[in-house]
Structure 1
Amino acid sequence: MTDRFRAGAGRLCLDFIRTLRHRGTSSEAEELPDPAAWGAWIDAFGPFATPVRPTSVDDAWVAREAIHSLLTDSLRPSVRQRLNRFAALPVPAPSLTTAGELRWQASDPPSAMVALLVHDALDLVTSPEFARVRRCAGPTCGALFLDTSRPGTRRWCSMEICGNQAKKSTYRAKATAG
């Protein structure tokens, strides 16, 4: 996995919606601006053994926003229809090579990846884990993550980035006040 995309949100669909960084802020940044970036994301997170080269990123954007809406808003009929349309697409299928290795195949890997992401999101919102989906407390982050901490009190999507920044800010404020 490359450092180009963030991982570690706890579910594949949560890592996917984080490709729109700093959502809703003046620092909002699109990590999937073109088909090449979408292909790189699939290569980093998907199950396929060979590189995927999509010709469009449009379905990925639509699916990402539908998944985000599913996880954060009341479900509007148009969003539900989009999710159901994507969920009906064929998902990657496993196959065993002559060497006994597992490979995942699809006639249309980008569409299969979208279907896989929507399946993961639908599974998440209908599971008990959904109660542990949190929004990062970082003031400019807002990423969603699955809180797998024992007490269920995790505040940041990443202790190394957002948590560290918060601790630095607290330290600086105390040092300045003291």
Structure 2
Amino acid sequence: MTERFRAGAGRLCLDFIRTLRYRGTPSELEELPDAAAWGAWIDQLGPFSTPVHPASADDARAVREAVHELLTTSARPSTRRRLNQFAALPVPAPSLTPSGELRWQASDPASAMLSLLARDALDLVTSPEFARVRRCAGPECGALFLDTSRPGTRRWCSMEICGNQAKKSTYRAKAGAS
């Protein structure tokens, strides 16, 4: 099954801000245009075992932009306040089913997911890992990712996509110059 949303950036909050794909380019694409898309993102990347049906995606997009600002610039006081407010919301609670499976529950799963995302962003920006947040070198990408490579020199958010495209471009340029 092909996943609808990209994952693998190294932190949940980094995967979340990638829902504005190709940020800042002419190809920019909003992946959370409505509540159904936000619910699909939660279903794919969140902890809940049953589908989530949020009423709106407005708060999700607002939190996403606040997280992006926090990670890429000197966040304004209003941005910090917004993230602190969402981080203070209740988070999902674990429970053990009679069959021994772990399930996550929340009275409002969409708000609980926003709380998890805000908390993850606040944790990241105050951790040593923050020094390893990189912007993808792909000219059309620009996604942020956590560089977990030993030397800390990873250039692309995904070797399979952006890295492969860069290598193909380099090869074509060399082949054309010959």
Is TM more than 0.5 here? yes
User: How far has the Cα of 1:122 moved from its partner?
Assistant: 0.7
> Following the alignment from structure 1 to structure 2, what is the Cα–Cα distance between the partners of residues 125 and 134?
13
Paired-residue identity, %:
83
User: How far has the Cα of 1:176 moved from its partner?
Assistant: 0.3
> Following the alignment from structure 1 to structure 2, what is the Cα–Cα distance between the partners of residues 95 and 9?
28
Residue-by-residue CA offset, 1:67-117 (whole Å, 9 max, x unaligned):
000000101111011001101110001111111111100000000000000
* Partner in structure 1 of residue 87 of structure 2: 87
* Partner in structure 2 of residue 114 of structure 1: 114
Unmatched segments (≥5 aa) in structure 2:
none
* Partner in structure 1 of residue 42 of structure 2: 42
> Following the alignment from structure 2 to structure 1, what is the Cα–Cα distance between the partners of residues 40 and 75?
30
What TM-score, normalized to structure 2? 0.98
Q: Which amino acid aligns with 1:88?
A: A
State how 1:1-178 maps to structure 2 within 5 Å. Answer: 2-178=2-178
User: How far has the Cα of 1:3 moved from its partner?
Assistant: 2.2
Unmatched segments (≥5 aa) in structure 1:
none
Q: CA RMSD in A?
A: 0.8
What TM-score, normalized to structure 1? 0.98
Return structure 1 stretches of 4+ with deviation > 3 angstroms: none
- The answer as to whether partners of 2:3 and 2:44 remain within 8 angstroms in 1 is no
How many aligned positions are there?
178
Q: Which amino acid aligns with 1:39?
A: G
> Following the alignment from structure 2 to structure 1, what is the Cα–Cα distance between the partners of residues 8 and 101?
26
> Following the alignment from structure 1 to structure 2, what is the Cα–Cα distance between the partners of residues 84 and 147?
26
